[in-house]
A and B are shown apart, each in its own frame.
Chain A
Amino acid sequence: MTAVEVEPVARAGQERVSGRSGRTGSWVVPWLFLAPALILFLYFKFIPMGNALVMSFQDVQPFLGNQWVGQDNYVKVVTSDGFRQAAWHTVLLAVCQTAGSMVLGLVLALLMEGRSRRLSFIRSAAFLPVVVPMAVIAELWRIMYHPTADGMLNSLLGLVGLGPSGFINDPHTSMASVIATGIWRGAPYDMMIFLAGLAGVNRDLYEAAFVDGASRWRRLLHVTLPGLRSVFSILFILAAIRGLRVFTEVYLLTNGGPNGSTEVVMTLITKLGLEQNRLGVASAGAVLLFLATLLLTVVVSVLRRRERE
């Protein structure tokens, strides 16, 4: 997705020649080809976003007519303890899941790099969680997280003399449990991308480091990791955006509970909007979430551009 940022500018020059040769038809043609996509985006992305923006300044009352209430909804959202707590949980979850998946993914990629059959089999198997639907993963982990001592993960903990833990059923461990499930699914994805990045590191540099007698550790630190820099920033953006809008796994694992200990912005918004019908306040929350995503994306892009120059 970030792949294309730079391309149009770079390609523009070389295509101008054939563009001017004219026979490519009238100006209508490209718009006809684009029309289905643009209409769908308009209907299901841009109009909803516009509506969210409008509703966030309104007291939405279906059938009665909406009332403008200015920044009231935003004030309500920002000052409510529930939303603040949900925002904090969301950030915590996003940061821990992103960091955990990246660290584990990098370790896995380093260990699983290579061309042998055995390794490619293990890599494929490890990648399976990524393609399994989130709903299935959540149901499976709910069963594994069974809170009694003879639950699956608790009996494993018992083997090393720990537990039993309440996991998602205990407010003290619920957040960590949701994060752990997220890392389990996120790490193999990151592993694959790191592997692709590792394949792109210049082998001559390894050879040079080897000849210079650099230790494995130093080679990793001074050759491999710098070579993976762009992979890190891409994974960071992807994971952070995914983390901020986390919904399905939290909804299915805990639905914000127990006792609000895992309530995130999205589960709160759906409760406000879909269950309590407080559409204005829910929209204000959604707009804030969007702004956070936008800000994060812009900041990381600017940082990357600056680094490249």
Chain B
Amino acid sequence: MSAASETALGLKESRTPQARLLKAVVGALVLVVFAGPLLALLVGAFNHVSDPTQLSVVPSRPTLDNFAVAVDHGVLKYLLNSFFVVGFGLLLQVVVSTLASYALARKRFPFMTIVFVAILATLMLPEEILAIPLSLILSDLPVLHINLIGTLAGIIVPVGAWAFSILVMTEFMRDVPRELEEAARIDGAGELRIFAQIILPMCRPALGVIGVFGFTMIWDQYLLPMLVAGDSSTYTLPLALRTLRIDPIVTPGVVMAASLLALLPSVIVFLFFQRSFVHGLSSGALKG
């Protein structure tokens, strides 16, 4: 097969100087447009930026002051809140989704289709649409009468069930061969053991996918922490950025230092688990 047939445009075949120059220019342009602003953020976090006009991608007056001021404004506490929320939220989400997927993928039971459709339907009910009633419910959970406003649990518990994770996991679990399960069953293993020791270990790639997507989804939460926050003590870092910005004595440099701390965890997770990420994007999108 010729090189020209490997990609849609077949750009690889063009090796003339003009084509090479064009490719270099396009690549550089893409980098400048999409990574440039983030580079400016990185540089700004480590520079004296007392005014938005001093934003630049060239370091001029390096300093760590921005971080010191940010810490003075409680950024470490907000960061800790964020880690707490993403840690427990993700744990809950993964446990809840894998349990549900086990039933959906490995069992047959009455009303299964209805359950499936109901779970799919929750994708059309994001926090945004539910904001008003959700804030009321969080302040007084029906039947239990617990008030979650002003607690980190109020952010953690609602993200515990996410249809996306359940659907990805269910699809993967369906493909685990039945023989393994049958063999364990004959040996007398119970449902929980089969789930935890036979099925789950086979689903490691899917666990990677729902882990990475769950992390970024929870880390990116904005409206939910906003609804839950009683005062700044339960702010997550993304939520605290706005408070920092409207504080008149806080410079843009400080906001960028805090922003850098807010973006690093999800960027690091992305860079380490890139393959799970891309796998999840393509499998989620293309099988439909």
Tell me if B37 counts as interface (CB < 8 A to partner A): yes
B220 shortest CB reach to chain A, Å: 5
Question: Which residues from chain A contact B266 at a C-beta distance below 8 Å?
Answer: 131-133
Please state if A30 and B107 are interface contacts (CB–CB under 8 Å): yes
Tell me if A70 counts as interface (CB < 8 A to partner B): no
Question: Which residues from chain A contact B110 at a C-beta distance below 8 Å?
Answer: 27
| Interface hits, B1-54 → A, CB 8 Å | 1-2, 4-12, 26-27, 30-31, 33-35, 37-38, 40-41, 44, 52-53
B150 shortest CB reach to chain A, Å: 15
- Across the interface, A33 reaches (CB within 8 A) one of B2, B103, B238, B277, namely B103
- Across the interface, B123 reaches (CB within 8 A) one of A1, A124, A193, A210, namely A1
| Interface hits, B94-114 → A, CB 8 Å | 95-97, 99-100, 102-104, 107-110, 112-113
Question: Which residues from chain A contact B44 at a C-beta distance below 8 Å?
Answer: 143
B47 shortest CB reach to chain A, Å: 12
Tell me if A112 counts as interface (CB < 8 A to partner B): yes
B274 shortest CB reach to chain A, Å: 7
Beta-carbon nearest neighbor of B216 in chain A: A131
Beta-carbon nearest neighbor of A228 in chain B: B8
B103 shortest CB reach to chain A, Å: 4
Q: A47-B142, A152-B55, A216-B10 are in contact. Are A129 and B34 (CB under 8 A)?
A: yes
Question: Which residues from chain A contact B274 at a C-beta distance below 8 Å?
Answer: 124
Please state if B34 and A4 are interface contacts (CB–CB under 8 Å): no
Question: Which residues from chain A contact B30 at a C-beta distance below 8 Å?
Answer: 108, 111-112, 122, 125-126
Please state if A52 and B130 are interface contacts (CB–CB under 8 Å): yes
Question: Which residues from chain A contact B239 at a C-beta distance below 8 Å?
Answer: 135
Q: A1-B164, A140-B256 are in contact. Are A290 and B174 (CB under 8 A)?
A: no
| Interface hits, B241-288 → A, CB 8 Å | 241-242, 245, 252, 255-256, 259, 262-263, 266-267, 269-271, 274, 277-278, 281-288
Tell me if A41 counts as interface (CB < 8 A to partner B): yes
Please state if B284 and A1 are interface contacts (CB–CB under 8 Å): yes
Please state if A207 and B119 are interface contacts (CB–CB under 8 Å): no
Tell me if A44 counts as interface (CB < 8 A to partner B): yes
Please state if B161 and A126 are interface contacts (CB–CB under 8 Å): no
A111 shortest CB reach to chain B, Å: 6
Please state if A45 and B130 are interface contacts (CB–CB under 8 Å): yes
